[in-house]
Amino acid sequence: VLFAPLYLSNYCVNGCLYCPYHAKNKNIPRKKLTQEEIRAEVMALQDMGHKRLAIEAGEDPANNPIEYILESVKTIYSTKRKNGAIRRVNVNIAATTVENYARLKEAEIGTYILFQETYNRASYERLHPTGPKHNYAWHTQAMDRAMDGGIDDVGLGVLFGLESYRYEFAGLLMHAEHLEAAKGVGPHTISVPRVKKADGIDPDVFDNSIPDQIFEKIIACIRIAVPYTGMIISTREGETVRAAALRLGISQISGGSRTSVGGYTQKERPHDTEQFDVHDQRSLDEVAMWLIKSKHIPSFCTACYRAGRTGDRFMSLCKSGQISNCCQPNALMTLAEYLVDYASPSCASLGFGMIEDELKKIPNAKVRQIARGHIEEIKNSNARDFRF
Ligand code: SF4
Ligand code: SF4
């Protein structure tokens, strides 16, 4: 499944030592998108073919209050150009209250994502010397509060490189185990970012960086340990690492990403507000073509939460493997949408070849027939958004 991050604001009151948005960084320009600017960014993302976004904003109660986030979610869902539509908005904002999580739920967000950064308390407090994020317990218990507020899809992650990977790996699994035991639902996703270079940030300062080989083992072990979870890798990693990660169990990747505020409507790179260097700088079309060539179906599916498959319902379908009855036809139908509406001619030709091959592999004859019918409709009309 493909997605893109959308940076709304880099105002931040925290002092995270590994992030260029920390409050003391005076080099970086501060920027917060207006609703009009968000609309323009969303249209640029839709014109690439994206259907699923993860919004990002620093923690700043004055500049980025919850009302701003809620209004932005509404703007994103209501922006439509041609056949474009953002169908799922995942939200990556600072730990907040149960009441605010309930408001996010009401705004129909997809997954609430919050990286722990590090599970080691002493390191956590040292790496977050100032601001509300300094409070380890408030941050670590955020997912419990999110679930109490009604959000049943939450996304975990650590920033590998800050602490010993063995500690983080154990912490991550214990967090997943805790959520399952206490709330009945484990993490919807787990992300595996590594510390990267950015304005004023030198990854070599953090002495726990992990080589690619260990990184790949971590991905494989998370895949085995939490088989029901979606696993995410971003454009922090380059093509080679992403190729290996996909083989080992990554199920969601970003493509054509900009990690700056307003980056999708700016032509020149790098942008002065980038949160980290983008290693995979290929366009979404290039990423889609690369996936097709390596026999992964580029999917733009967002069906589950809109069909009510969230939380424990989603997890039981994943654990039994039944979810693939939905993922596979949805992947092919949303790929067809992408190919008709946005892809380059060479990507479209490769993609339709893949669709033909993959349709034959759908085991259930009725599902196969429905999917084929919808794909024909997509080719011949403006009808969109069929889903299982
Ligand atoms: Fe702010 Fe998040 Fe960056 Fe920390 S990681 S400085 S909270 S934007
Ligand atoms: Fe994800 Fe659900 Fe779509 Fe499968 S059917 S790709 S799990 S949204």
Distance, CA 39 to ligand 2 centroid (Å)? 26
Give the residue whose CA is nearest to atom 2 of ligand 2.
304
pLDDT at 197: 85
Find out whether the beta carbon of 93 lies less than 6 Å from any atom of ligand 2: no
Q: What is the full per-residue pLDDT of the chain (388 aa) written as tens digits?
A: 999 999 999 999 999 999 999 999 999 999 999 999 999 999 999 999 999 999 999 999 999 999 999 999 999 999 999 999 999 999 999 999 999 999 999 999 999 999 999 999 999 999 999 999 999 999 999 999 999 999 999 999 999 999 999 999 999 999 999 999 999 999 999 999 999 888 888 888 887 999 999 999 999 999 999 999 999 999 999 999 999 999 999 999 999 999 999 999 997 766 788 898 889 999 999 999 999 999 999 999 999 989 999 999 999 999 999 999 999 999 999 999 999 999 999 999 999 999 999 999 999 999 999 999 999 999 999 999 999 9
pLDDT at 273: 86
124 HSE (CA, 13 A, CB side): 20
Find out whether the beta carbon of 303 lies less than 6 Å from any atom of ligand 2: yes
The values of phi and psi at residue 160, to 5°, are: -65, 135
Find out whether the beta carbon of 302 lies less than 6 Å from any atom of ligand 2: yes
Query: Which ligand approaches the C-alpha of residue 52 most closely?
Result: 2
Indicate the pTM of the whole model: 0.97
Query: Which ligand approaches the C-alpha of residue 118 most closely?
Result: 1
Find out whether the beta carbon of 1 lies less than 6 Å from any atom of ligand 2: yes
pLDDT at 338: 98
User: Among the atoms of ligand 1, which is closest to the Cα of residue 128?
Assistant: 4
Report the distance separating Cα 371 and Cα 333, nearest Å: 7
The secondary structure of 133-200, three-state, reads: HHCHHHHHCHHHHHHHCCCCCEEEEECECCCCHHHHHHHHHHHHHHHHHHHCCCCCEEECCECCCECC
Find out whether the beta carbon of 330 lies less than 6 Å from any atom of ligand 2: yes
Give the residue whose CA is nearest to atom 5 of ligand 1.
19
